[in-house]
Amino acid sequence: MYFENVENLHELEQNEQWEVIRKSLYEQWLGQKDNLGILVRLALECWLVMSDWDCCINNEGLNYELFKSNLMDSYVYGLAHFGDNEKFLCLFGYMMSLFPYFFYLNNDKNSEKYLIYENKGKSMLEKAYRNFSNNPLAKVLFLGSIDQTKECDKAKMRLKLSLSSLFPGDTAIEKYFKEILSN
């Protein structure tokens, strides 16, 4: 299982209570700083909201900068304390390789920082792939990040068999990963 189970999270997501989710997870993380599961869940919920900001969620009353700040804080802390952990490398590398500008202060997609952070995300995925060669998720995410389509598709076929055990819940991020990894 990749994600910490959080009570009532699915219901809160269904009701688009994004700020309640962010605040609750942030407070849980502050109380359990060394709990990687809570750190990852906080980061992914912030990342999901930010990536769907202008298209798929009701963001009225939400503060984008607060979600971004929590994502950046969780990354900085996670890198310092879990920088060699396969879950941290896979998930933060994935998030960063797709949306590098979520991880630095301005949102300039044309800046040098964009390429630096995009490459940092890809190198995190490569590190996860190289250091944890038995991890099928690390393999799929890394191969997908370097456009190795044929090899990635083969790895996805093998990974499909374990998707329900890796992502057993019905939260938005679990549905997201099940969907992208089964296509």
pLDDT score recorded for residue 77: 98
**Could you give the CA distance from residue 82 to residue 84 in angstroms, rounded to a whole number?**
6
DSSP 58: -
pLDDT score recorded for residue 51: 95
Q: What would the pLDDT profile of 86-110 be if each residue is shown by its tens digit? A: 999 999 999 999 999 999 988 778 8
pLDDT score recorded for residue 101: 95
pLDDT score recorded for residue 94: 97
**0.85 cut: is pTM over it?**
yes
**DSSP-assigned states of every residue in 100-154:** GGGGSSS--TTSHHHHHHHHHHHHHHHHHHHHTTT-HHHHHHHHHHTT-HHHHHH
pLDDT score recorded for residue 171: 95
What mean pLDDT is reported for the chain? Answer: 93
pLDDT score recorded for residue 142: 94
Q: What would the pLDDT profile of 151-168 be if each residue is shown by its tens digit? A: 888 888 889 989 999 999
**Could you give the CA distance from residue 62 to residue 21 in angstroms, rounded to a whole number?**
12
**DSSP-assigned states of every residue in 59-108:** -TT--HHHHHHHHHHHHHHHHHHHTT-HHHHHHHHHHHHH-GGGGSSS--
Q: What would the pLDDT profile of 16-64 be if each residue is shown by its tens digit? A: 999 999 999 999 999 999 999 999 999 999 999 999 998 989 899 999 9
